Structure 1
Amino acid sequence: MAEKQPNEKLTTWFARSGWSKGELARQVNRRARQIGAHHVSTDTSRVRRWLDGEQPREPIPKIMSELFSERFGSVVSIEDLGLRAAIPVSTVGGGVDLPWSGPQTVQLISDYSRSDLMLNRRGFLGTSLALTAGAALIEPMQRWLAPGPTGVPTPILTAANGGEAFTGRLSEPELELLEQTTVMFRQWDAQNGGGLRRKAVVGQLHEVTDLLQETYSEDTTKRLFRLTAELAHLAGWMSYDVGMHPSAQKYYVLALHAAKEAGDRPFGALILTDMSRQMIHLNRGEDALELIHLAQYGSRDTATPRQQSLLYAMEARAYATIGEVNRCARAIRLSEDTFTDIRDGDGEPDWLKFFSPAELNAENAHSYRDLAYHSDNAQLYASLSAPVMERAVDLFRQDEDHVRSYAFNLIGMASVHLLQKEAEEAVRYAEQAVDIATKVRSERLNSRVRKTTEAASARFRGVDAVSRLKERVVQDIPEFVSVV
């Protein structure tokens, strides 16, 4: 048996916290009682063993993540503490290393969407999944760049060989209606959160894979694969929004396979961008950076200025997550410069229209804010974030189609005011975010509201406004229990 190694990550966070071993033990016990885990009873000797490399059992890793997050006012994940993640994470081959062929892509999406529909409890599907990370994720995704044997969809599906008659009976008006329905699903998601229509999107995705069992012209086949990619991507995005991370990743990977069959490099880059966003959310900055660089390289000849600007903005987010100050600042600058190259009438696809001036300001504000968390000069980067975040809030306030994004930037503004030690202002913005969070179905938003509120409570104990905010959040936004 290998000798246990000291947990250097936990030791570093513990030293920064200023807590004694006894104080950490007391806080763990108190939080465990609050969540009903009465079997948890730890002491200073147990804390010492954790620092020496012993892995605590659930729910202690989750409790410690919450305690350190509250202490520092930013997300400190279980992995950051050198502990086992609550979401299973695989860094060896498996879940995402799938064959890059048209017929197998169709079958995999059909099977997975059917399983999702049949298992009727939200999240139950994810119990058999692990989130893939590291080389096990990045290396299979790099195959997106490899050219196919012919550069066109599989002949079996297009019936291009031998003059065989097409078996598909999908008419042009029906195909256009399917494409319009996908646009409508995107609008619903932006307005109401991923929880409201996720099953409907998965159902539509499954129906489209049934259509792909038939043969069509090359143009129709490409359009159907593009439609499949958009629906699978949307199913992934909605799964991510409701906290189903392994399921979200699975849909993203399947969407990327479908985009490759459609020959749609720009949309493939968007999928990789959102995979990067998920890794940022999970504090896996290096993986996020690899994915966004893959997206940039793969779309270097096809991306419009709007998409290039989005890619630079997400590159900045990834650099901020790992504390790369100069590279983050350069990517922010490039995102702003490239955005000025956008011209009206460029004929950009519907899926890219969301990246507006409001989104540009939002991404860059969050990059500055995250640098405040991951660098030695928190006040400088908080002051840089504040005016950019405020512009994002003002722009989203006028946009009735992106309510959830408005709420994210309200809670982002609250987090900036916390960094600037302005409790009353932080509460004012957080309360507006709570108003929206109670109306949309987004666990991602709810989680951000809860964590920001806990950070405020830890920093400003005894401040009446903060206490009122915490009481409201506990009552109106109950803790989400995910099985993935």
Structure 2
Amino acid sequence: MGDKQPNEQLTAWFVRSGWSKGELARQVNRRARQIGAAHISTDTSRVRRWLDGEQPREPIPKILSELFSDRFGSLVPVEDLGLKAVAPLAPGSGVDLPWSGEQTVKLLSDYSRSDLMLNRRGFLGTSLALAAGSALIEPMQRWLAPTPSGQSANGIVSAARGETATGRLSEPELDLLESTVVMFRQWDAQNGGGLRRKAVVGQLHEVTDLLQESYPAATTKRLFQTTAQLAHLAGWMSYDIGMHPSAQKYYVLALHAAKEAGDRSFGALILTDMCRQMIHLNRPGDALELIHLAQYGSRDTATPQQQALMYAMEGRAYANLGDVAKCHRATRHAEDAFDEMGKGDEKHDWLKFFSEAELNAENAHSLRDLCYHTGRSQVYALQAKEPMERAVELFSQDENHRRSYALNLIGMASVHLLQQEPEQAAASAQEAVDIAVKMRSERVNSRLRKTVEAAHREFGSVSQIADLCERVDQSLPEHVQPKAV
């Protein structure tokens, strides 16, 4: 055997992190305990051997990827660390899944059960990895492929193929189940994803049990629609509390269920939120591919309201790519589509969140993001200020979307910082802290911490910023990666 070569890629990320070898070892051990891998015990000499070229055993490559991703606020794949990607420990833990009804139900049942049992078994934390690039985009493109000849889009249940229905679910019970999804969605918007996630996952698992019985075709379709909405909501809540691989898994399974229901509009919403997640993880190229896939797949079904949402997210992707002209074009299309909405357009409960406030918020964040990716901070900060102020004003009057209010107060603070207005930035951020301490949303907390860190770097001597930093340190403890529960 030849001598090992130093791992220059891992060394580069390690040096940039500012961590010592001992600190990295402690973080690896802590994360390992969180995911149930208590057998892992790392020390400084082991870290030194990794830097010298030793390949760590699973699940350490995934843990290192998560730690560096958290440190830098963007996805750092295992391969970028010069390590070998660890193969999933269980079938179906990736995103390239069979597009069949039977498999969709089985995977949803298995995954939701494992999710609920993780406190005892530690399964998901060691087996699940975030997909990106072609590994993500190519499987998602199959959402558009026609159902194989002889199979109905929702024909996995015998009654949908003309046999006798034996399912125990009555229509009033199905109505109640659908209303429960609406209630879960409202709780999430008010309180953040951390408070009701287990309840949503539990309800999802119950629905997959129901799908293994036989019903008339119309009932089967509604059950798959409900399944898709619950899986999407589980993904959204996972994203909100920082569980990105789990969020992506639920999104993918939700897309499969939406295909079984023949619901292209809801499938497009799922892809839109996958786009949002990729923007959050600093993968704007993937985000753009996903939103274009959503737009193409729903071209015959999307209402003006949904078109406006997709254009707004397209603008976010282009802004993070630094493409000024295409960003402006997308935000303009979003405004035009929103103006075309009629009173009857809000026919989907899952789309009601996209209001005038959300439109202004998304477009304002696109303009704000252009500041970071073009170097013309004053120009685009000035353009972002008016729609951000309008979003904050509208959300301040909306008791049902407190998380969105907090996120846009943070956005307003970031705009004030770009305009060299630290006192105003501190005031907006303080209001956001008032909301953050009353909910469980790591997305809100992490954005607050990141904005406050930026304020401290540039305006640490300003008394209002100093007070803000102290309050955030005391009120919002640093994120500990939750178990995938």
Structure 1 counterpart of 2:428: 429
Identity value in percent: 65
State whether residues 88 and 129 of structure 1, in contact with CA within 8 Å, keep that contact through their aligned partners in structure 2: no
Amino acid corresponding to residue 268 of structure 2 in structure 1? A
**Cα distance, 1:416 vs structure 2:** 0.8
Whether 1:320 aligns to 2:319 is: yes
Aligned to 1:235: 234
| Structure 1 CA distance for aligned equivalents of residues 239 and 121 of structure 2 | 12
- The residue that corresponds to 1:177 in the other structure is 176
Match of 1:214 in 2: 213
Query: Offset of 1:198 from its aligned partner?
Result: 0.2
2:345 matches 1:363: no
* Local SS of the residue matching 2:232: helix
- 1:383 is aligned to 382
> TM-score, with normalisation over the residues of structure 2?
0.84
Q: Does 1:330 align with 2:336?
A: no
Aligned AA (2:447): R
Q: Distance in 2 between matches of 1:142 and 1:253?
A: 12
CA contact (8 A) 2:357 2:395 kept: yes
Structure 1 distance, partners of 2:27, 2:111, is: 35
Task: Call closer, same or farther: CA 1:30–1:426 in 2, change over 3 Å.
Answer: farther
Aligned to 1:157: 157
Partner in structure 1 of residue 111 of structure 2: 112
Structure 2: distance between partners of 1:166 and 1:36: 54
Q: What secondary structure, in the 3-state scheme, does the structure 1 residue paired with 2:468 have?
A: helix
Q: How many residues align?
A: 456
Contact 1:167 1:216 in 2 (8 A): yes
Q: Conserved in 1, the CA contact under 8 Å of 2:305 and 2:345?
A: no
Give CA deviations for 1:157-183 in whole Å, capped at 9, x if unaligned: 04244x521111211100000000000
Letter in 2 for 1:317: R
1:140 partner SS: helix
Question: Pairwise CA RMSD of aligned residues?
Answer: 3.7
Distance 1:138 1:202 in 2: 25
Q: Secondary structure at the match of 1:133?
A: coil
CA distance in 1, matches of 2:444, 2:239: 11
Who is 1:18 aligned against?
none
CA contact (8 A) 2:104 2:257 kept: yes
CA deviations over 1:184-220 (Å, ceiling 9, x no partner): 0000000000000000000000010111010111100
Q: Secondary structure of the residue that 1:297 maps to in structure 2? A: helix
SS class of match (2:391): helix
* Structure 2: gaps spanning 5 or more residues: 29-41
In 2, Cα distance between equivalents of 1:179 and 1:480:
33
1:62: how far off?
8.6
* Structure 1 unaligned residues grouped into runs of 5+: 12-20, 70-74
Compared CA separation, residues 156 and 463, structure 1 to 2 (3 A):
closer
Letter in structure 1 aligned against 2:460: R
Q: Counterpart of 1:126?
A: 125
Structure 1 residue 76: Cα displacement: 6.3
Deviation of the 1:103 alpha carbon: 1.0
Tell me the CA shift for residue 150 of structure 1.
4.4
Partner of 1:472: 471
Deviation at 1:347, TM superposition (A): 5.3
**Alignment partners' CA distance in 1, 2:146 and 2:156:** 18
TM-superposed CA distance for 1:29, in Å, is: 5.9
Partner SS for 1:372: helix
User: Greater CA deviation, 462-471 or 445-454?
Assistant: 462-471
Provide the rounded CA distance (Å) in 2 between the counterparts of 1:249 and 1:113. 13
Deviates more, 1:458-467 or 1:419-428: 458-467
Per-residue deviation, residues 387-420 of structure 1 (Å, max 9, x unmatched): 1111100010011100000000000101111111
2:415 match: 416
With over 3 angstroms needed to count, the CA separation of the structure-2 counterparts of 1:471 and 1:29, relative to structure 1, is: farther
Q: In the TM superposition, what are the counterparts of 1:68-467 in structure 2 within 5 Å? A: 78=76, 95-120=94-119, 125-148=124-147, 149-150=149-150, 152-161=152-161, 163-346=162-345, 348-467=347-466
Alignment check: 8 A CA contact 1:126 1:244 kept: no
Contact 1:28–1:64 under 8 Å retained in 2: no
CA drift of 1:465 comes to 1.4
One-letter amino acid matched to 1:246: P
Q: Distance in 2 between matches of 1:257 and 1:62?
A: 27
How far apart, in 1, do the equivalents of 2:386 and 2:250 lie? Answer: 36
Judged with a 3 Å threshold, the aligned counterparts in structure 2 of structure 1 residues 196 and 189 are, in CA distance, closer, same or farther, namely same
> Is the CA contact (8 Å cut-off) linking 1:285 and 1:322 kept in structure 2?
yes
Match of 1:72 in 2: none
**For residues 390 and 89 of structure 1, what CA distance do their matches in structure 2 show?**
47
Partner SS state of residue 247, structure 1: helix
Q: Using the alignment, how far apart are the partners of 2:278 and 2:163 within structure 1?
A: 45
Q: Which residue of 2 aligns with 1:17?
A: none
CA distance in 2, matches of 1:314, 1:121: 39
CA displacement, residues 300-328 of structure 1 (integer Å, 9 cap, x when unaligned): 01000000000000001111111111111
Tell me, yes or no, if the aligned pair for 2:22 and 2:43 is still in contact at 8 Å: no
**Residue pair 1:167, 1:214 contacting (<8 A) in 2 also:** yes
